[in-house]
Amino acid sequence: MQATTYHDPAVSMRRITVIAREGSRRAAGAWDHANAQPSWILRTVLAVLFLLLAIPLLVVVLIAIAVVTVLFVILAFVNRALTALRNLVAPGRDDEGRENVRVIRRD
């Protein structure tokens, strides 16, 4: 013979109530989380604002890089010209290719 168990309807109803409360709390939490997220309009406005700030900054940086590059090339040419001019005025080398050496010949 099998033993039958007795189920109290009040206990079952309490369990259902607890499960329903927990489910509604989770649903309310999910709803609050979804409402706290920015809408597509706000996301679009923020993206446009980011682009309006980032593009001019990028242009300024690229212009600065171009100016520095041109300045470097100009200064390299000036340095080469000054070096050539200095070598014309006072070579600083003797006939054998030694630099800044003063050779005293004692014949």
Tell whether 77 is covered by a domain: yes
pTM, entire model: 0.47
Tell whether 105 is covered by a domain: no
pLDDT digits (tens, 9 = 90+) for 5-53: 656 666 666 666 666 677 677 777 777 777 777 788 888 888 999 999 9
Tell whether 101 is covered by a domain: no
Tell whether 97 is covered by a domain: no
What is the 8-class DSSP label of residue 99? B
Domain that holds residue 17: 9-89
Q: What's the pLDDT at 59? A: 96
DSSP 5-61: PP--HHHHHHHHHHHHHHHHHHHHHHHHHHHHSPPHHHHHHHHHHHHHHHHHHHHHH
Q: How many domains does the chain have?
A: 1
> Please, which residues have CB within 8 angstroms of residue 103's CB and are 6 or more apart in sequence?
94
- Please compute the mean of the pLDDT values over residues 82-105 and round it to a whole number: 72
pLDDT digits (tens, 9 = 90+) for 44-84: 888 999 999 999 999 999 999 999 999 999 999 999 999 88
